[in-house]
Amino acid sequence: MIAIALILLFLAGFFIVSLISEKFSLTERIGFGFPVGLGIVTFIMMIADWFGGRIATTNSMILTCIVCAVAFTIVIAAQKKKFVESLVPTFDFSWFNLLWVLLLIFLIWVEYHNFAKCMYFPTYDRDSMAGFDTIGYLAAQEHTYKGLSIFTGDYMPRMHNPGSCISYLPMLQFSYAYIYSLGAETSKAIPAFFYLSFIIAFYGMAKRTMSHTAAMFATLAMVFTPEMISFSSLSATNVMQAAMASTGLIYVCMWCNEKKKELLVMGALLLAINHWLRAEGIVFGCTAGILVLLQCVRKKAAWSNLIIPILTLIPTITFMLYSASCNLTSESAIITRLYWDAEKAGIIYDGAWKLLSQLTFYGWAFLIMLIAVIANGYYSVKEKDNLNVLLAFCLSLILYYFVLYHVDYKWDSINNVLAYSAKRFMFCYVPIAWYYTCNSKIVQSGFNWIEKTCGLK
């Protein structure tokens, strides 16, 4: 039952991505299938819960089947033969070299160990036990999310305090409720398959703009990031958000270069799922909006394109309405007025700098990116090479710390947040850093030379 549900989720996402465009490669569609399917199904689960639907085995399966069938019907109706033709892989191995194989072997070795660890151990990390996993488990047991016993003030008096898990965006909680409702003993299949999908998706996405070997190197380097991979086997939202936010933003950057509609729509869909995962993910949606706005102003792109990044807010707005109507709100921790607190700003600046400049949590990622930025300086200035990605990286980083600055830390200190939580926030920048590095012209030329010298033709 669980295996069938996971396959159906994947197929639903596969058809939805295909629906955006049949031009997406099989790797991209296979990679994004599961996260997209899960995002859509859990969003509908919330709507169903809002109107009194029960979280139960039969309902979960029926919902997944309906989403899958509807997506399939629409994609067949809209694309007809093109869809079937797009499923046939193209074979061009002129680039094939043994370095690519070696990188792939390393990648499989790393992910095999990580996947096994993720699936073997149940949820034991504190944040998930005190939030995502427990809520998902209880929702499956009590067949409701909005009516959960732990959301009642009498049983959990602190549930409506600032920073409480009641106000977390519920994609992951619904995902866990989904898998528990199907009888799973643990919810770890969700993070395990999400991360595996992300790896495939990242490679497929990177391959659009760089050579196969460079894409494989970027993927391996990204996966082999110490803190990020170790968190990927836990049940928290951070790595999943990193997956959706980074790929979403990169697709928007690709749209800035190529102006292909499907890239913008895909980026927006992924950013919407990122919003559906974590509230502060909105900084990536804002970044995408600014990038699109710049294209409208400077490159005369159609202003109607701006609607697409705005639509990424649908999950957030819907959840706000749902939580308000179901009394799932907590005391706000956001400072909504503009203010200046030099001490707080200084602490945040120091914290951000410490995170980005140390080599422990993210390994070489940011240092190598900095070297790539400097080395690629000539092409950045002369040909504007990779500038949109660099802009997206910097802009979203500034916005992220701006959001941290505007949080009123009633439940914790800013120092604690920077020391323990903010390191997880930075995961979103690791895939972007490696993408930037391997997509910069100077690195590309190295990999192109390898493929030219050692390829099959």
Residues in contact with other proteins by CB under 8 A are 94-95, 97-99, 102-103, 106, 110, 113-114, 116-117, 120-122, 124, 126, 129-131, 133-134, 137-138, 141, 150, 154-157, 165, 185-186, 208-211, 214, 224, 226, 229-230, 254, 256-259, 299, 359-360, 363-364, 383-385, 387-388, 439, 441, 444, 448, 450-457
Smallest distance, Å, CB 150 to other proteins?
Answer: 6
- The continuous run of DSSP H or E covering 53 comes out as none
CA distance 382 to 400: 30
CB nearer to other proteins: pick between 39 and 136: 136
Q: Are 222 and 434 in contact (CB under 8 A)?
A: yes
CB nearer to other proteins: pick between 146 and 344: 146
CA distance 261 to 120: 41
CB nearer to other proteins: pick between 331 and 383: 383
Q: Which long-range contacts (CB under 8 A, 24 or more apart) does 55-63 make?
A: 55/139, 55/140, 55/143, 55/144, 55/145, 55/177, 55/178, 55/181, 56/143, 56/181, 57/1, 57/181, 57/182, 57/183, 59/181, 60/5, 60/178, 60/181, 60/182, 61/1, 61/4, 61/5, 61/8, 61/182
3-state class of 317 per DSSP? helix
CB nearer to other proteins: pick between 82 and 158: 158
CB nearer to other proteins: pick between 39 and 431: 431
CB nearer to other proteins: pick between 155 and 353: 155
Measuring CA to CA, which residue among 90, 383, 388 is closest to residue 251? 388
Q: Are 274 and 244 in contact (CB under 8 A)?
A: yes
CB nearer to other proteins: pick between 224 and 400: 224
Amino acid letter for position 163:
G
Smallest distance, Å, CB 103 to other proteins?
Answer: 7
Smallest distance, Å, CB 221 to other proteins?
Answer: 8
Measuring CA to CA, which residue among 308, 314, 203 is closest to residue 256? 308
Smallest distance, Å, CB 246 to other proteins?
Answer: 17
From residue 373, give the alpha-carbon distance in Å to each of 206, 325, 398: 18, 48, 18
CB nearer to other proteins: pick between 214 and 271: 214
CB nearer to other proteins: pick between 10 and 115: 115
Smallest distance, Å, CB 332 to other proteins?
Answer: 21
CB nearer to other proteins: pick between 29 and 207: 207
Give the single-character DSSP code of 383: H
CB nearer to other proteins: pick between 287 and 386: 386
3-state class of 334 per DSSP? strand
Smallest distance, Å, CB 65 to other proteins?
Answer: 29
Smallest distance, Å, CB 185 to other proteins?
Answer: 5
Exposed / middle / buried, residue 81 (Cβ in 10 Å: 0-12, 13-18, 19+): exposed
Measuring CA to CA, which residue among 267, 199, 248, 207 is closest to residue 228? 199
Q: Are 197 and 160 in contact (CB under 8 A)?
A: no
Smallest distance, Å, CB 158 to other proteins?
Answer: 8
Smallest distance, Å, CB 243 to other proteins?
Answer: 19
Smallest distance, Å, CB 297 to other proteins?
Answer: 14
Smallest distance, Å, CB 270 to other proteins?
Answer: 19
User: For the residues of 233-245, what is the DSSP string, one character each?
Assistant: TSSSSHHHHHHHH
* HSE-CB for 284 with a 13 A CA cutoff: 37
